Structure 1
Amino acid sequence: MNKLILSALVAGAAFAGFMSAQIAQSAEAGSTSITTPAQISFLVTLAGSQNDDNIQSRNPVVVELFTSQGCSSCPPADMLASRLAKDSSLLVITRPVTYWDRLGWKDTLAKEDNTRLQRAYAEKGLQGSGVYTPQMVVNGGGGAVGSRENDVRSLVRLAQKASAPTIETSRDDSGQMIVTISGKTRHMAGVSLIAMSSSEKVNVGRGENGGRILHYTNVVKAERNLGSWTGEPVSFVLNNQDINVYGADKYAIVVQQPGAGAIIGAKLLEI
Structure 2
Amino acid sequence: MNWTKIKKAAGCVAISGVAVCALSLNDVACQTPAADKQNQQLVKGDNKGFALVELYTSEGCSSCPPADKLLEKLESENAGKPVYVVAFHVDYWNHLGWKDKFSTSEFTARQRQYSDWMNLETIYTPQVVVNGVSEYVGSNERSIVKAIDASLSQGAENALTLQGKIDSGKVQVSYEVTGPQKNKVLFLALVQKKASSNVMAGENEGRKLSHVQIVRDLIPVEIKDKSATISIPAELNQAGWELIGFVQNKGNGSITAAARMN
Is TM > 0.5 for Structure 1 vs Structure 2? yes
**Measured at CA, do residues 77 and 121 of structure 1 come closer, stay the same or move farther in structure 2, by a change above 3 Å?**
same
More displaced stretch, 108-117 vs 219-228: 219-228
Deviation, 1:55, is 3.9
Asked whether 1:72 is paired with 2:62, we answer yes
Matches within 5 A, 1:181-260: 181-185=176-180, 187-228=182-223, 235-238=226-229, 242=230, 244-248=232-236, 249-258=241-250
Kept in 1, the 8 Å contact 2:160–2:246? The answer is no
Matches within 5 A, 1:101-180: 101-125=94-118, 130-159=122-151, 161-169=155-163, 177-180=172-175
| Counterpart secondary structure, 1:167 | strand
Deviation, 1:263, is 1.1
**Measured at CA, do residues 212 and 170 of structure 1 come closer, stay the same or move farther in structure 2, by a change above 3 Å?**
closer
Using structure 1 for the length normalisation, give the TM-score: 0.68
Matches within 5 A, 1:5-154: 55-57=46-48, 60-86=50-76, 87=78, 88-125=81-118, 130-154=122-146
Larger radius of gyration: 1
**Measured at CA, do residues 96 and 260 of structure 1 come closer, stay the same or move farther in structure 2, by a change above 3 Å?**
farther
Q: Percent identity?
A: 29
Give the gaps of 5 or more residues in structure 2. Answer: 1-44, 166-170
Q: Distance in 2 between the 1:178 and 1:104 partners?
A: 39
Deviations 1:186-230 (A, max 9, x none): 63311122111100100000111100000111111112222135x
Q: Distance in 2 between the 1:247 and 1:165 partners?
A: 32
Deviations 1:97-141 (A, max 9, x none): 111112221112111111000011011226x88410100001111
Kept in 2, the 8 Å contact 1:135–1:143? The answer is yes
Task: Letter of the 2:86 partner, please give it.
Answer: I
Number of residues paired by the alignment? 206
Q: Distance in 2 between the 1:99 and 1:129 partners?
A: 16
Task: Letter of the 2:210 partner, please give it.
Answer: H
Deviation, 1:60, is 3.6
- The residue aligned with 2:257 is 265
Kept in 2, the 8 Å contact 1:195–1:245? The answer is no
Q: Distance in 1 between the 2:243 and 2:114 partners?
A: 23
Q: Distance in 1 between the 2:121 and 2:149 partners?
A: 18
Using structure 2 for the length normalisation, give the TM-score: 0.70
**Measured at CA, do residues 84 and 201 of structure 1 come closer, stay the same or move farther in structure 2, by a change above 3 Å?**
same
Q: Distance in 2 between the 1:124 and 1:80 partners?
A: 25
Give the gaps of 5 or more residues in structure 1. Answer: 1-53
Q: When you count helix as a share of all residues, which structure comes out higher?
A: 1
Q: When you count strand as a share of all residues, which structure comes out higher?
A: 2
Kept in 2, the 8 Å contact 1:197–1:247? The answer is no
Deviation, 1:56, is 3.5
Q: Higher relative contact order by CA 8 Å / sep ≥ 6: 1 or 2? A: 2
Q: Distance in 2 between the 1:157 and 1:138 partners?
A: 11
Kept in 1, the 8 Å contact 2:160–2:258? The answer is no
- The residue aligned with 2:37 is none
**4+ residue runs over 4 A deviation:** none
